[in-house]
A and B are shown apart, each in its own frame.
Chain A
Amino acid sequence: MEATFNSIIAAAAPLIIASMGETITEKSGVINLSLEGSIRLSAMTAFAVAFWVGHALVGFVAAALVGAAIAAIIAYSSIGLKLNQIAVGFVLTLLAIDLASFLGDSFVGERGPRVPPLPIPFLSDIPFFGKVFFDQDLVVYFSFLTIAATWWFFYRTRPGLNIQGIGERPAAAFARGVNVNKLRFWYTVLGGAMVGIAGAAYSLDVKLGWRETLTLNLGWIALAMVIFGGWHPLRVALGAYMFGALQVLAFQLQDVFPGVSQVLPVAPFPLMILALVFVYSDWFSKLGDRFPRMRNLLGSEAPAGLGQVFERE
């Protein structure tokens, strides 16, 4: 039992990091649709670099740079050139996926460095919780940190309030003196760097090694998680852990019901659609009115300015 939970938490780490990154980007009003491509290309790069250098950390840095660079292209083309974010994101996805397959071909099957386990002294001795949460490695601890930091940033800081403003109504934020387009650019790059780190977490930690199917459509799932989570970091995280749990469950049930073993691995996807239907239902959307203190957590509305280009005049 402990081991199962421990592996759910560990396996969900890349998804958590990627969806926190995308949450930040989208909260500022930009959609980085290239997640699937970014993750694959950064996973491949991380592995290749770490393989050459012989050190996992360098791989992470390289992956963050790849993710940030792709995000910067999206940010520049949508903010600077006023191109359609969706179109650019989609093209970049396809490009990055192909690039990853092509450049990564020679690394398939190689063994590279990995992130070492790092149980936290004392904390990991706590019964059950210690084993589940604190007998992990740095990547997993980093995923915890992204959740807490994103939440704190959005709801407890001035820049965090401003980011919500530029995503919600850019003209209004601009009228208050917030530099909308500059911030949007940098939050998109920051989100992209986190997506890159998520890619590295796959090839250097969770799955080890590089092959094309390594990331299991994680990028698309992260995009869906942001929607399911109503752009709230805690709910996004909850969704990511639930998705991870379903995957582990499906995997374990394969032995129990061998007849349906083909179906189980895809079960989380239709369930995810049901979950989306649920959070967009009338009943759920009224919850926020009933518990005003939890309004942010229970709301499912996208930032109203999401995907909109802000032009001063």
Chain B
Amino acid sequence: MSLEIRDIYKHFGPVRASDGVSITIQEGSLHGILGENGAGKSTLMKILSGFYSADSGEVILNGDVLDLSSPADAIAAGIGMLHQDPLVFLPMTVLDNFALGSPGTVRLDRTEVRKELERVSSELGFEFDPSRLARSLTIGERQQLSITRLMWLGAKVLIFDEPTTGISATQRLQLFDTLRKLAEHGLIVLFVSHKLEEVEDLCDSVTVIRQGKVVYEAEMPVPAETLVEKMFGKVFVVQGREAVPLGQPVLRLANIDLKEDTTHLENLNLEVASGEVVGLAGLEGSGQRALLRACAGLLEPASGSLELDGVSLTKASYRGHLAAGVHYLPAGRLEEGLIEGISITEHLVLASDDSTFFIDWKAARKVAETEIEDYSIKGTPSSSAEDLSGGNQQRLLLSMIPDEVKLLLLEHPTRGLDVESAAYVWTRLLARRAEGTSVIFASADLDELLRYSDRIVVFFAGEVFAVRDASGTDGEELGYLIGGKERV
């Protein structure tokens, strides 16, 4: 058995998501599809599984040219796909999720289906309570349920689109085991990812996709540098921080007490100099977010004082903080930072402090075009925020930061971004800092903290547990500190 994808084209407006893709995969192989975010992996897989129909091209399974005009055709031909976000029905039971869409008699014999669920899941080594609601399943369990269902329907080709997003390390090991087993049983398994290490760990062969085209094919193992180069089209050096002389203290926090939800931050003292980058480390909910929000004016301190450039902002509103030169980029880019359904141009108009009543759309479009160019945003002035990839959303947010900012506050500035976008974000931030802007950012990524901070503040259980110069510490020590222990 072999699967051949021949000359697939697919465009969305001006975007060529699949630009003449041909791949051949042999039976029993665990094949990686590698590419950065937006490379066109999901689109190609959705074409394979009948979810999208291609503009042109053929899919050939075992010598037969398939007619893939709907997912029903793909399933009938034995091609099944686990989508990036497991497509389960949350308020339905496991059993109904299993049965939905299955062929059979009009009357649904749930006893019969339950037996089938038990049979197939035990063959795969999974266990389900058929009457549980899908809502209460972990992402890993939802995937297992989908695998079970597709195997029941007779899948010969199984596609996994970024299956490791949102699952725990243990679940990932279990998933990889399952994938290997499926391949050993003679299935064709397609593993789609933008994470190099996963493909290295798992796959027998790999196809690298960039901008809708196949740019590289090989049997594994392949040196990581080669894959990175193929993915991004260039060799990629992540730039570290340059020493910048620190200026006068800009931000002064004295004896601050903060309360938010379950977080309780007490008696906090911190001074940040102009041009300084301070990283906030700690487990989620240890107080970093509360501190950022207090500095942004979104959370009023219960006591203590907050000064920016000698002016007290303790009781000032969010607008007051903005006016004083504070800018905050929250972690929820689409929830808190951008507005769904609103274009890049409109975002930039909203962000400008122009207060004329009528909007000069022509000028606004010009501004948008310049910013898109400046920040290399992949999109047009009329693209909506939600249509941009995570990296491009972050670029848009960066472009919305006013020119004169004294203090930049960022929460997980590179979470979920591909390597290139993450490096880009930091290039921009470091340029700001060279102009004298102070930067405070929270991150869960120790490398990021160590690479870009001057000082690292470690939070534990609502207090500042330790403060370290970034040059005088390492990942191991930070790991201990974050867990509330001094290095032993």
The answer to whether A and B interact is: yes
Q: Which residues of A contact B (CB under 8 A)?
A: 156-162, 164-165, 168-169, 171-179, 292, 295, 299, 301, 304, 312-313
Sorted from nearest, which 3 A-B pairs have the closest CB atoms? Answer: A176-B101, A177-B72, A172-B87
- Name B101's contact: one of A168, A178, A292, A313 (CB within 8 Å): A178
With A158-B99, A173-B100 known as contacts, the answer to whether A301 contacts B89 (CB < 8 A) is: no
CB distance from A171 to the nearest CB of B (A): 6
Are the C-beta atoms of B90 and A304 separated by less than 8 Å?
yes
Contact status A165-B91, CB under 8 Å: no
Q: Is the CB of A160 within 8 A of B108?
A: yes
Decide if B106 touches A172 in the complex (CB within 8 Å).
no
Q: Beyond A175-B49, A179-B72, list 8 extra A-B contacts (CB 8 Å).
A: A158-B99, A164-B96, A165-B89, A172-B87, A176-B75, A177-B70, A177-B71, A312-B51
A162 contacts across to B, CB distance below 8 A? 100-101
Would you mind naming 26 contact pairs between A and B with Cβ atoms under 8 Å apart? A158-B99, A158-B104, A158-B107, A159-B106, A160-B108, A161-B99, A162-B100, A164-B89, A164-B92, A165-B101, A169-B87, A173-B100, A174-B70, A174-B71, A175-B87, A176-B75, A176-B87, A177-B72, A177-B101, A178-B101, A179-B72, A295-B133, A301-B91, A304-B90, A312-B51, A312-B52
Q: How far is the CB of A310 from chain B (nearest CB, A)?
A: 12
B-chain residues with CB within 8 Å of residue A156 when the two chains form the complex: 107-108
**Residues of chain B within 8 A of A158, CB atoms compared:** 99, 102, 104-108
B residues 23-82 near A (Cβ < 8 Å) are 49, 51-52, 70-76, 81
Residues of B within 8 A of A177 (CB): 70-76, 101
- Give the number of chain B interface residues (Cβ < 8 Å): 31
- Residue in A161, A168, A174, A299 with the greatest tally of chain B CB atoms within 10 Å: A161
B83 contacts partner chain A, Cβ-Cβ < 8 Å: yes
B399 to chain A, nearest CB (A): 29
Q: Which residues of A contact B104 (CB under 8 A)?
A: 158
A157-B107, A292-B131, A312-B51 known; A173-B101 Cβ under 8 A? yes
Which single residue of chain B is at the shortest CB-CB distance from A169? B89
Check B139 for interface membership: any CB of A closer than 8 A.
no
- B-side residues, CB < 8 A to A, are 12, 49, 51-52, 70-76, 81, 83, 87-92, 96, 99-102, 104-108, 131, 133
Once the chains are docked, how many angstroms separate the CA of A171 from the CA of B74?
Answer: 15
Given contacts A176-B75, A177-B70, contact A171 B102 (CB under 8 A): no
Distance of B288 from chain A, by nearest CB (Å): 32
Output the least CB separation between B404 and chain A (Å).
43
B83: chain A residues within 8 A (beta carbon): 175
Chain B residues, CB < 8 A from A169: 87, 89-90
Q: Which of A157, A159, A160, A176 contacts B71 (CB 8 A)?
A: A176
B99 touches A174 (CB 8 A): no
Task: Report the Cα distance A173→B88, complex, angstroms.
Answer: 9
The distance in angstroms between the C-alpha atoms of A174 and B446, with both chains bound, is 41
Q: How far is the CA of A172 from the CA of B145 in the complex (A)?
A: 14
CA distance A304 to B88 in the complex (A): 12
Q: Is the interface of A mostly helix, strand, loop or mixed?
A: helix
A189 to B83, CA, bound (A): 32
Interfacial chain A residues near B101, Cβ < 8 Å: 162, 165, 173, 176-178
User: Is the pair B91, A299 in contact by a Cβ cutoff of 8 Å?
Assistant: yes
Q: Is the CB of B107 within 8 A of A165?
A: no
Select one of B74, B89, B96 contacting A172, CB under 8 A: B89
Which residue of chain B has its CB nearest to the CB of A303? Answer: B91
A174 near B100 with CB under 8 A, answer no
* Chain A residues near B73 (CB-CB < 8 A): 177
With contact pairs A157-B107, A158-B104, A161-B99 given, residues A175 and B90 touching in the complex (Cβ less than 8 Å)? no
Closest to A299 in B: B91
Cβ distance A160 to chain B, nearest Cβ, rounded Å: 7
B71 touches A175 (CB 8 A): yes
Question: In the complex, what residues of A have CB within 8 A of residue B49's CB?
Answer: 175
B317 to chain A, nearest CB (A): 33
Interface hub of B51, B75, B100, B107 (most chain A Cβ within 10 A): B100
In the bound assembly, the distance between CA atoms of A35 and B396 in angstroms comes to: 45
A190 to B202, CA, bound (A): 51
A161-B96, A292-B131 known; A171 vs B87 contact (CB < 8 Å):
yes
Q: How far is the CA of A179 from the CA of B72 in the complex (A)?
A: 9
| A156-B108, A157-B108, A292-B131 known; A165 vs B70 contact (CB < 8 Å) | no
Chain B residues with Cβ below 8 Å from A174 are: 51, 70-71
Report how far A232 CA is from B133 CA in the complex, Å: 18
Q: Which residues of B contact A172 (CB under 8 A)?
A: 87-89
Q: A151–B88 Cα gap in the complex (Å)?
A: 23
B88 partner residues in chain A, CB cutoff 8 A: 172
Chain B residues whose C-beta falls within 8 Å of the C-beta of A168 in the assembled complex:
89-92
Q: How far is the CB of B77 from chain A (nearest CB, A)?
A: 11
- Whether A161 lies near B108 (C-beta < 8 A) is yes
Question: Complex: how many Å from CA A176 to CA B81?
Answer: 9
* Chain A neighbourhood of B70, CB < 8 A: 174, 177, 179
B96 CB, nearest partner CB in chain A, Å: 6
Residue numbers in A under 8 Å from B92 (CB-CB): 164, 168
Residues on A with C-beta less than 8 A from B96 are 161, 164
* Measured CA separation A168–B92 after assembly (Å): 9
Residues in chain B near residue A178, CB distance under 8 A:
72, 100-101
> Smallest Cβ distance from A177 to chain B, in angstroms?
3
Write the nearest CB–CB distance from B33 to chain A, whole angstroms.
18
- Residues of chain A within 8 A (CB-CB) of B52 are 312-313
B80 to chain A, nearest CB (A): 9
- A165 vs B12: C-alpha distance when bound (angstroms): 27
A residues near B81, Cβ cutoff 8 Å: 175
How many whole Å from B51's CB to the nearest CB in chain A?
A: 6
Question: With A and B bound together, what is the CA distance between A157 and B101 in angstroms?
Answer: 11
Contact B106 A157 (CB under 8 A): yes
User: In the assembly, what is the distance between CA of A166 and CA of B91, in Å?
Assistant: 13
The closest CB in chain A to the CB of B107 belongs to: A157
Q: How far, in whole Å, are A313 and B42 apart by their CA atoms in the complex?
A: 12
Query: Which residues does chain A contribute within 8 Å of B107, judged by CB atoms?
Result: 156-158
Tell me the smallest distance from the CB of A170 to a CB of chain B, in Å: 10
Among B49, B71, B104, the most chain A Cβ lie within 10 Å of the Cβ of B71
Q: Complex formed: what's the CA distance from A169 to B104 in Å?
A: 21
The smallest beta-carbon distance between A286 and chain B, in angstroms, is 14
Residues in chain A near residue B106, CB distance under 8 A: 157-159
Across the interface, which residues of A come within 8 angstroms of B91, CB to CB? Answer: 168, 299, 301, 304
B131 contacts which chain A residues (CB < 8 A)?
292
A171-B92 Cα distance, complex, nearest whole Å? 15
Alpha-carbon separation in the docked complex, A159 to B99 (Å): 11
By a CB distance below 8 angstroms, the chain A residues around B72 are: 177-179
Complex Cα–Cα for A174 and B69 (A):
12
Q: How far is the CA of A296 from the CA of B92 in the complex (A)?
A: 9
> Do A161 and B51 have beta carbons less than 8 Å apart?
no
